Amino acid sequence: MSLHQRLRAATASAHQGLEDALDWRLRVATRDGYRDLLARFHGFHAAYEPALGDALADAAFWGPRRRLPALAADLAHLGMREAEIAALPRPSAVTFSDAAAAMGALYVLEGSTLGGQVIGRHIGAVHGLADAGLAYYRAHGRQTGVMWNAFRARLDRLSGDAEAEAAALAAGTATFDALRIWLCAPEASASPRTG
């Protein structure tokens, strides 16, 4: 099995669990609900992206995969001020021991761009948004397949390296869990900012 196949198998139940717990159709049914969900994603990406960038140490690969600017732009479009966005709660800062661990965590965030296409189309239709306000869910847009294939190819360069595979699998499952807890906790917007 390739590392991608192993990650997919190891996180299949976590994906289903997140889909079930997220209840995304209900959460994005109102504009305020959609903004609150984006605010949660903003917190998560604010905590994870610096650590991912450091551990990957490859600006050409990582740069187009950053999604914090898109989240900030969407939140601004939905009426939040810059200072409010900067002050949004976020989980504690994380670190990755090496690039393999970062690839495992990034698997979760890059994979979310796949289902995100379906969710983005739904939100666009419900709230009358085209590009502005929908940048996070549009993500790589027409490049989604290309970006996903390039990500998988890089991931699978680690296949067969037992230590790298273990690090990626551990980080992938931990990131899925952390994301579910962060997105689904009641009242995250009222919790103190840490990290």
Binding stretches for ligand HEM (CB under 6 A):
8, 15, 18-19, 22, 24, 107-108, 111-112, 114-115, 118-119, 179
Decide whether 16 or 95 has the Cβ nearer to ligand HEM: 16
Q: CB 81 → ligand HEM: shortest distance, Å?
A: 26
> Strand, coil or helix: what is 7?
helix
- Minimum CB separation of residue 83 from ligand HEM in Å reads 26
Residue 21 or residue 87: which is nearer to ligand HEM going by CB? Answer: 21
Identity of the residue, 115 or 124, whose beta carbon is nearer to ligand HEM in the bound complex: 115
The residue of the chain with the least Cβ separation from ligand HEM equals: 111
Q: How far is the CB of 166 from ligand HEM (least distance, A)?
A: 18
